[in-house]
Structure 1
Amino acid sequence: MAQLPEIVLQELADNKFAPLYFLQGEEAFYIDQITDYVEEHALTPTERSFNQTVVYGKDVSMNQILETARRFPMMAMRQVLIVKEAQDITDFNRKSAQDQLLSYVSKPVPSTVLVFAYKHKTLDGRSALKKAIEKNAILVESKKLYDNKIPAWVKQYCRRKDYKIKEKAVALLSDHIGNDLTRIANELDKMMLNYDSDTEITEVMIAKHVGISREYNVFELQSALGKKEIFKANQIIHYFQSNPRNNPIIPIISMLFAYFTKVMLVHNNRGAGKQELARLLGVNPYFVTEYMLASQNYTPAKTRKIIEHLHQADLQSKGIDSVASEGEILRELVFKIMH
């Protein structure tokens, strides 16, 4: 069975290194985290000169990798071999190469730490190789997080770095970047360089350091729509039209679709308390009031119609039944939502 990346990272921090790691999946963040930790901590700087090898999949064959893995360390307790971009190993998909790897996996060299960073793909779960890796090695499957899991991840990441973060700052960051964990972590790390630990990160700080307009972003747009603030919504749309490269239409429509879907959930759960609504919506209770206000401004029938308009705008943004520009599609969409 695949192990959770957080558990593997904790074991590495406790100086527990296994002979073989196979890191696979769509989410590159944890694959990079584990790979980087092994590269930086498995050996001392002096030991690395003779005992650490880092290669890229496109440059090596399976036979070359396993020949290196079977060597013994020089004046050290272990050697480290890291195969980055392992999905590009020249002969990985050939039966002969997989048989070679299967043989090694069945009996890995205990004095070698061999890491395969196999990104954006996964092994066939029915294969003998996958089963052998599960049994004899550390298998990590790094999956993309769903959008509704990103806020909790952001808060946990900040806690691990000894920072606090406000709910609105979390929402602004996750709305702007989406579920790209590597980019979120990089943006937070760059920002944290400017503040002492235990600082509480605010939406003002996020806007300043991540390059998000504090007033003109999709988070503020959905807020303006929910409150029926026509003038402000049109200001934001005008800003989006003036800055199309930084405000692509498809993520905006996706965010608005998620927003009005939650408004419909509020309609469908009349009488539920704030805590229950927060659980149903998958949001912090801090934001429930906003969805409740939007549900008062838009009837169930209107909300259903808005969701239809969003679906139509999504098709138009992909060139279906429309030759309008992104800005024109957004402006028409906001008009239909608010009138």
Structure 2
Amino acid sequence: MSDVTKIVSDIKSGNIKPIYFLMGDEPYYIDKISEFIEDNVLTEEEKGFNQMVLYGRDVAIEEISDSAKRFPMMSERQVVIVKEAQDLSRTIEKLVSYAENPQPSTILVLCYKYKTIDKRKKLYKTIQKNGLVYESKKLYENQVADWIRRVLAGKKYQIDTKATLMLVEFLGNDLSKISNELDKLMVVLPVNSIITPKDIEENIGVSKDYNNFELRKAVGERNVYKSNMIINYFAQNQKANPIVVTISLMNSFFTQLLIYHSLKDKSKNNVAKSLGVNPFFVADYITAAKNYPMRKVSQVISFLREADVKSKGVGANLSSGEILKELIFKIIH
């Protein structure tokens, strides 16, 4: 995020590169940088003649080079943006000849999503020398909660810890989806609000009481009643609570619990670091470890594998609800 802030700050101050090659697995920041250049470098009057948006599937490298080489009309600069540039991956190295001698009055932006170019080849090295290469990497899920808090703080909002974790569980590490949901919340909630689990439930549709976060907690506590309540809710709302996600998250939880049992240093900070979890969760692992000794955890992981196979229709003709009910019974008893 600091790299993006610097890129935007440099553009605002007039330190503009002739080529921006934006690549990587996380499209969110690629879009943000591209949109900032598209919206802010030229005035509305200048854009008509001097801003061009191309798509990788529709153009060849030669056409991009020709467009970038032309001079602006009644403006100091022109902007050429190539969206979905990853569709040119087979021929992208042909851009070397232009990158070696880019037109100073052109800002060429290439949005190369979900891929990266070979850093050993000439194109990467040439753009590094004459322009800017930005690699947008996916955040790990244990980094997303902090990202959410930073984004909201920048817009004068706060968020409850559980509400943050509900968003991460529901949306994973897809920053574009998370950003869209945060925008919805900020439309309905006043500035300086603290976003709560109730806000998430009412505006995004994630139940604050019946979700995988609460199921994991209930199972860890060996709370039979609450676990069954959640499983019954899942069975009635299978589209919003796919079994593959539940099994995957439960498997991650018990795998981490296995690691917890092996730790010599069980201090809160070391547990959070070793398991790659938010410190907020450490108490759940301490409780679960008391209820599930290492031998039982190994057994539970085998139950989860069996349930995963059954959920794919192998060896059993059971509904998702029936598979989960059987699984939770085996785990808790």
Q: With the length of structure 2 as denominator, give the TM-score of the two structures.
A: 0.93
Shift of residue 291 of structure 1?
A: 1.6
Counterpart of 1:55 in 2: which secondary structure? strand
Which residue identity does 2:186 align to in structure 1? M
**Counterpart code for 1:23:** L
Matched-pair contact (CA < 8 Å) for 1:4–1:141:
no
Match of 1:84 in 2: 83
Separation in 2, partners of 1:315, 1:148 = 27
Partner SS, residue 188 of structure 2? coil
- AA partner of residue 41 (structure 2): A
Match of 2:90 in 1: 93
**Quick check: 170-179 or 196-205, which moved more?**
196-205
Q: Look up the match of 2:289.
A: 295
- Decide which of 164, 171, 176 is 1:170's aligned counterpart: 164
Aligned length: 332
Question: Percent same amino acid at aligned positions?
Answer: 43
Alpha carbons of 1:11 and 1:209: their partners in 2 closer, same or farther (altered >3 Å)? farther
Residue 238 of structure 1: which of 232, 235, 248 is its match? 232
Q: SS state of the match for residue 72, structure 1? A: coil
TM-score by length of 1: 0.91
Q: Which moved more, 1:64-73 or 1:6-15?
A: 6-15
Deviation at residue 156 of structure 1 after TM alignment: 1.8
Greater CA drift, 135-144 or 124-133: 124-133
Question: What is the alpha-carbon distance in structure 1 between the residues aligned to residue 301 and residue 130 of structure 2?
Answer: 50
Deviations along 1:41-96, one digit per CA (max 9) or x if unpaired, are 1111121111111121122221111111111112222111111111224xx524xx
- State how far apart, in whole Å, the 1-side matches of 2:212 and 2:14 are: 44
More moved, 45-54 vs 5-14: 5-14
Rounded Cα–Cα distance in structure 2 between residues aligned with 1:42 and 1:240: 49
Aligned residue in 2 for 1:336: 330
CA distance in 1, matches of 2:129, 2:245: 41
2:149, 2:158 within 8 Å by CA — same for their partners in 1? Answer: yes
Relative to structure 1, the CA distance from residue 146 to residue 317 in structure 2 (aligned partners, 3 Å threshold; closer, same or farther) is farther
RMSD: 2.0
SS of the aligned residue for 1:16 comes to coil
Q: Secondary structure at the match of 2:330?
A: helix
- How far is 1:15 from its partner? 4.4
The answer (yes or no) to whether the contact 2:27–2:114 under 8 Å persists in 1 is: yes
Q: Structure 1 residues 139 and 163 mapped into 2: Cα distance closer, same or farther (>3 Å)?
A: same
1:108 aligns with 2:102: yes
Residue type of the partner of 1:158?
L
CA deviations on 1:216-268 (whole Å, 9 max, x unpaired) are: 11111111111111111111111111111111122211211222223223322
**Residues of 2 paired with 1:188 and 1:235: CA distance?**
29
Q: Which residue of 1 aligns with 2:57?
A: 58
Q: What SS class does the counterpart of residue 245 from structure 1 fall into?
A: coil
Residue in structure 1 matched with residue 134 of structure 2 by the alignment: 140
- In the alignment, is the contact (CA less than 8 A) between 2:265 and 2:271 conserved in 1? no
Written as runs of structure 1 = structure 2, the 5 A alignment for 1:1-339 is: 4-89=3-88, 93-94=90-91, 98-99=93-94, 101-269=95-263, 272-339=266-333
Change (3 A) 1:285 1:111: same
SS at match of 1:170: helix
